[in-house]
Structure 1
Amino acid sequence: MPIQLGFLLKLFGQRDLHNVIAQERRVYHRFNAVLQLALLIENGEKLMTVLDKVVAFYAGLEEQMEKHISKGSLKHWRYKVKNFPQRDWIPMLLDRIDE
């Protein structure tokens, strides 16, 4: 069931809602990149080769993303989620918030 925009505006406020939407976009780019990496590794390709392929793929999508995905970030995200089931990856890939 989709959440109504008016409800979200009341709940978060205009500025916070923008941040929530941006965070959602970032986490789905991360998830898709790590998933692509995992699938290629499962098919027997070497980690360093796969890292280059995935980074090159997302370099072509930079206009749709806030910033590019680096090899170091991709490697970090992979090690963060690799021992967990795929259903748990999205919360693990969220930006860390210090309050």
Structure 2
Amino acid sequence: MRSHSQVIYEVTIQYIGSLNTIRQREPFTVYFSNLKKAVESIVNHLALNGWPIKVNYTAVYRSLKQRGNYYCDFDVAGARVFRIRIIPQILNPVLTTMGIDEKPTEPTKKR
């Protein structure tokens, strides 16, 4: 049985800072199979909602290669509001034995 591993990108919007204590919000997570599509989606939603476009493909790509993750904080008047975090994840990792030992052979019966 062969498994094909694939990298997917976990994008999480996490609400942080003092404004989060006023209006509690759970983190929002979505997954993309393509990094370019993930960044395009983030940029489009930031623009649509009036946030500065501080995220770009090159910065995300470099950060993922160097540190294994990317994050960018957004604030209003110096108060942090939310963080965008991108982490690569492995979909369908190569399976090991998963801790399952080989079935012991049954003892042969004496004749």
- TM superposition score normalised by structure 1: 0.30
| Structure whose residues are more often helix by fraction | 1
| Structure whose residues are more often strand by fraction | 2
Q: Which has the higher contact order (CA 8 A, sep 6+)?
A: 2
- TM superposition score normalised by structure 2: 0.28
